């Protein structure tokens, strides 16, 4: 097969992606995402279904006021209802009211759906498809026909499924999009069936795969190998059930692995991925190919030693080509190379023959045997190295702390209070504070004690707090690992504490957070 010079990207994050559990965008979110995707180089952005809800109608009204450059906005809907003219169908009217240059409509290509769900004669199903496409074309729109359940329909009755494509094509459809709606088709089936379709409708076949078998991206690429020229998917794989074809995986595969240019600046991929996650209020998938935090992470000592000599030893691409970076992890599996590279990453220059390197390595292994983990706690690791090198100056000296918990007589409210005593620059400070819980109260008391001498503390906030039981077999006596993420402006850093006492573990992570920040000022 001759590889296509161009494959068009059709993003449906704002419509199909929002069908995923827990995914919701405000009107402003949708506008911001559309602008971001257009700036990234998406060919088409599906804004929603204007006949389904007021928010999508409002999106199209706002989108008309904006310049998306070469990117085209698409409105999504269904074919006309049975038994009426396309020109009289209210849903098609809503699609036209959206005033988008592109309209995408879906229809039934599987006999089971026509017989059991739609409940119309096969002839009427074909008429619904052709009438709708022809009417939208007569109104000057670029029309994409999404053949819903196409692959299941083809395997059930190939002639019937192909007849639905023919109906759309003969009516003037610009693209015939083959949908693996249930996500159950394997790549070899996708490739074989797409090749058959492409031979009948050359140059106008697209693919819309779902990810129910974890094959969404693989199926998209298989379809391209077979001749598809459009891929419909979502950023970060959002979508109903297990999601849609993940464009953050497909895009670099097309561009870096298959030599098909699809976006002008691939180095923005991770940035765009994180932007969409942020507006969706979703934690990024750390293990996502190409864009995840661990996509280029190395932990084993032998691996780290190899990538220190040549990154190609264990990296299939240059991380910066997708806007990511190499990440050296430190753990009980670490060797000296891990320590040297991680220290360099943190701005600390060490000689491989420095005895401190071995001391740090032995200290890490000892701490990890107690339940510590430094992979997501760079700040605690930084402090550990500085302590071994004699470069660390404590922010204060703790003399003691106490936490108390009170519930009123009616049991309707509770109060946590913490009191700490510290020495700072030769001065003793005793401070108390209340909080929503003992950790919050301790944090507040410590801040009050230090704020007079260190005003920068006011700009630090605790942005994440996680607790993990290390050895659950001990029940309530189990050791606890606390991981804290703190931030100040755009900077963020992670710290860790481990103890039999959850308050003590939290205290360790809190103190590391402040001392790390102090070391950077």
The CA distance from 357 to 343, in Å, is 10
Shared-domain flag, residues 134 and 185 = yes
Shared-domain flag, residues 102 and 157 = yes
Shared-domain flag, residues 259 and 347 = no
Task: Specify if 287 maps to a domain.
Answer: no
The CA distance from 186 to 411, in Å, is 58
Angle at 112 between CA 84 and CA 208, to 5 degrees: 85
pLDDT given for residue 46 in this prediction: 96
Of the three residues 453, 476, 491, the one that is the final residue of a domain is: 453
Shared-domain flag, residues 119 and 195 = yes
Task: Specify if 290 maps to a domain.
Answer: no
Shared-domain flag, residues 447 and 379 = no
Task: Specify if 3 maps to a domain.
Answer: no
pLDDT given for residue 425 in this prediction: 76
332 — pLDDT class (breaks 50, 70, 90): very low
Residues 65-121 have pLDDT tens digits of: 999 999 999 999 999 999 999 999 999 999 999 999 999 999 999 999 999 999 999
312 or 434, greater pLDDT = 434
Of the three residues 453, 485, 502, the one that is the final residue of a domain is: 453
pLDDT given for residue 313 in this prediction: 62
Average per-residue pLDDT for the chain: 87
81 or 3, greater pLDDT = 81
Residue range of the domain that includes 444: 396-453
Cβ-count burial of 92 within 10 angstroms (0-12 exposed, 13-18 middle, 19+ buried)? buried
Shared-domain flag, residues 37 and 176 = yes
Q: What is the mean pLDDT of residues 242-249?
A: 96
Q: Is the pLDDT of residue 379 over 80?
A: yes
498 forms bridges with which residues in the sheet?
Answer: 481
349 or 190, greater pLDDT = 190
CATH number of the domain bearing residue 409: 3.30.160
Task: Specify if 288 maps to a domain.
Answer: no
Shared-domain flag, residues 403 and 471 = no
Would residue 351 be called left, alpha or beta, if left means φ above 0 and alpha means ψ between -120 and 50 degrees?
beta
> Is the Cα torsion angle 45, 50, 51, 55 positive or negative in sign?
positive
Q: Is the pLDDT of residue 359 over 70?
A: yes
**Core vs surface per residue 458-493: b (16+ CB within 10 A) or e:** eebeeeebeebebeeeeeeeebbbbbbbbbbeeeeb
Shared-domain flag, residues 222 and 351 = no
Shared-domain flag, residues 314 and 425 = no
The CA distance from 242 to 187, in Å, is 17
Shared-domain flag, residues 423 and 467 = no
The CA distance from 339 to 354, in Å, is 11
Residues 462-516 have pLDDT tens digits of: 888 888 887 666 665 678 889 898 888 878 888 999 998 889 999 999 999 999 9
Task: Specify if 479 maps to a domain.
Answer: yes
Shared-domain flag, residues 58 and 186 = yes
Which of helix, strand or coil describes residue 442?
helix
Q: What is the mean pLDDT of residues 389-393?
A: 80
Would residue 41 be called left, alpha or beta, if left means φ above 0 and alpha means ψ between -120 and 50 degrees?
left
How many structural domains compose the chain?
Answer: 4
Shared-domain flag, residues 359 and 213 = no
Task: Specify if 2 maps to a domain.
Answer: no
Beta carbons of 470 and 445 less than 8 angstroms apart: no
Give 262-268 contacts, CB < 8 A, sequence gap 24+. Answer: 262/7, 262/9, 262/41, 263/9, 263/40, 263/41, 263/42, 264/41, 265/40, 265/41, 266/321, 266/322, 266/323, 267/320, 267/321, 267/322, 267/323, 268/40, 268/323
Residue in 207, 203, 139, 208 with CA at minimum distance from that of residue 171:
139
Distances from the Cα of 497 to the Cα of 209, 331, 484, angstroms: 44, 15, 9
Q: Is the pLDDT of residue 307 over 80?
A: no
The CA distance from 61 to 47, in Å, is 11
Phi, psi of 145 (to 5 degrees): -105, 115
pTM of the model: 0.70
Beta strands of 160-199 (E only): which ranges?
Answer: 175-180
Q: Is the pLDDT of residue 328 over 60?
A: no
């Amino acid at each position: 097969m001759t590889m296509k010079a161009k494959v068009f990207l059709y993003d449906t994050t704002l419509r199909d992606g929002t069908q995923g559990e827990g995914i919701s965008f405000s009107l402003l979110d949708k506008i911001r995402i559309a602008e971001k995707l257009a700036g990234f180089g998406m060919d088409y952005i599906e804004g929603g279904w204007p006949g389904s809800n007021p928010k999508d109608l409002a999106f199209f009204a706002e989108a008309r006021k904006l310049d998306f450059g070469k990117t085209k906005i698409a409105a999504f809907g269904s074919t006309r209802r049975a038994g009426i003219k396309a020109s009289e169908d209210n849903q098609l009217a809503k699609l036209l009211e959206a005033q988008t240059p592109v309209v995408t409509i879906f229809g039934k290509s599987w006999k089971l759906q026509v017989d059991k769900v739609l409940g119309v004669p096969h002839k009427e199903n074909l008429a619904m498809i052709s009438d709708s496409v022809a009417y939208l074309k007569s109104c000057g729109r670029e029309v994409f026909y999404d053949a819903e359940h196409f692959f299941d329909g083809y395997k059930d009755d190939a002639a019937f499924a192909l007849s639905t494509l023919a109906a759309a094509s003969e009516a003037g459809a610009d693209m015939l999009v083959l949908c693996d709606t249930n996500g159950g088709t394997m790549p070899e089936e996708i490739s074989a069936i797409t090749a058959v379709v492409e031979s009948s409708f050359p140059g106008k076949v697209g693919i819309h795969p779902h990810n129910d078998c974890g094959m969404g991206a693989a199926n998209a690429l298989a379809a391209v190998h077979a001749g598809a020229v459009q891929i419909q998917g979502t950023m970060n794989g959002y979508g109903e059930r297990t999601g849609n074809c993940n464009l953050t995986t497909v895009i670099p595969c097309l561009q870096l692995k298959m030599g098909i240019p699809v976006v002008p600046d691939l180095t923005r991929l991770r940035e765009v991925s994180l932007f969409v996650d942020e507006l969706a209020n979703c934690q990024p998938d750390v293990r996502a190919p190409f864009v995840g935090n661990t996509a280029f992470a190395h932990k084993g000592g032998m691996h780290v030693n190899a990538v220190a000599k040549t990154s190609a030893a264990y990296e299939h691409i240059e991380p910066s080509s997708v806007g990511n970076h190499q990440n050296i992890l430190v753990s009980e599996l670490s060797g000296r190379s891990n320590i040297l590279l991680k220290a360099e990453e943190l701005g600390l220059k060490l000689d491989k023959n420095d005895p401190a390197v071995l001391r740090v390595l032995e200290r890490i292994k000892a701490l990890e045997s107690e339940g510590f983990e430094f992979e997501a706690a760079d700040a605690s690791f930084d402090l550990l190295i500085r302590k071994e090198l004699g470069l660390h100056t404590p922010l204060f000296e703790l003399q003691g702390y106490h936490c108390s918990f009170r519930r009123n007589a009616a049991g309707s409210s509770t109060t946590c209070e913490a009191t700490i005593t510290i020495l700072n620059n030769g001065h003793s400070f005793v401070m108390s504070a209340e909080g929503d819980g003992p950790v919050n109260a301790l944090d507040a008391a410590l801040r009050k004690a230090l704020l007079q001498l260190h005003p920068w503390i006011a700009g630090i906030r605790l942005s994440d707090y996680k607790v993990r039981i290390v050895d659950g077999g001990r029940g309530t006596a189990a050791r606890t690992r606390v991981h804290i993420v703190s931030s100040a402006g755009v900077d963020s850093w992670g710290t860790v504490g481990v103890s039999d006492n959850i308050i003590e573990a939290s205290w360790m992570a809190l103190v590391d957070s402040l001392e790390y920040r102090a070391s950077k000022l």
